[in-house]
Structures are given as C-alpha cells and as structure tokens.
Amino acid sequence: MIDTATHWFYGERHVSPGATIEELRHELWAGGYYNIWLRLVKKDAPYVASGLYSAEKFELEFEPRQYVILRANADNAWLIKGFTRTLGMKPHFQYQDRQGQLVTEWRMAGREARWSSMQGIPTYNNPKRLYGVEE
C-alpha cells in the first residue's frame, strides 16, 4: 500500500494543481471520507481549495512539503481526523481567525517560528499548540 499523502503533499513533483486536488480527494475517499468534495480555487502555490464535508463548508490552503491549513466554520473533529490520517501527522496549531473560523494547521517545518509569530497578534484568537514535535 502506498503511504498516504505521498503524491499531493509529500511528493517532490506534481502533475498539475488540478491533479493534486484530485489525488487528495481520492486519498480522503480511500480513508472512508466519502462525503467530502474539493474544488480548486487558487492554482498557484500556496494552493487553495473550497471544500464541502456533508453540508459543512471549509477551506483548505496548502503548500506541498510545507504546510496544510484547514479553515472551518465550526470545530469538526471528524474532518480534522480525516486530514490527520491522510497526512500521517497530528495537527500542530489551532486558533480562531478574525472571521470566527476555526483554523487548524499542520506544519512540516518551521513550527517554532510559526508558533512565535502567532503570539500576541489579534489575528490569532486563542492559539493552541496541539502537538509539539522537535525539528
């Protein structure tokens, strides 16, 4: 079995942004998240996709081999678990943005710098470090 997120996130080469979103969607479906849909919104890195999980809208921003950011209107543990399984790593940060959305971040590198940059800035309401990993 191929490791999850091999092509769309961890891979060094991508066919196209549309193919990247298609690979992500298929990996989520293979993981049992059948009622999820993604549509590419921004075709340059960092990529942005609008998503629908059941009846809940969300936004996904990612730069391959760097980070994944999930923005949702409410805390959806099942959706977060789906991306955690697909990426093969736990999320590192969670906060509320100015629009009141719950933001969850997974970071490949630069975690300490990102955490430091979030401190004391009103854009990041109630920042939480969920899972610390030494770099």
71 occurs within a structural domain = yes
Residue 37: HSE in the Cβ half-sphere, 13 Å Cα cutoff: 7
61 occurs within a structural domain = yes
124 occurs within a structural domain = yes
Neighbouring residues of 77: CB distance < 8 A, sequence distance ≥ 6: none
134 occurs within a structural domain = no
Residue 41's domain comprises 6-129
20 occurs within a structural domain = yes
66 occurs within a structural domain = yes
For residue 116, the surrounding DSSP H or E stretch is helix 111-118
Q: What is the domain count for the chain?
A: 1
Q: Residue 24 CA to chain centroid, in angstroms? A: 11
* pTM given for the model: 0.89
135 occurs within a structural domain = no
pLDDT in tens, the chain (135 residues): 345 556 678 777 666 888 888 888 988 998 888 899 999 999 988 999 999 998 899 999 999 889 999 999 988 899 999 999 989 889 999 999 999 999 999 998 889 999 999 888 888 999 999 876 555
1 occurs within a structural domain = no
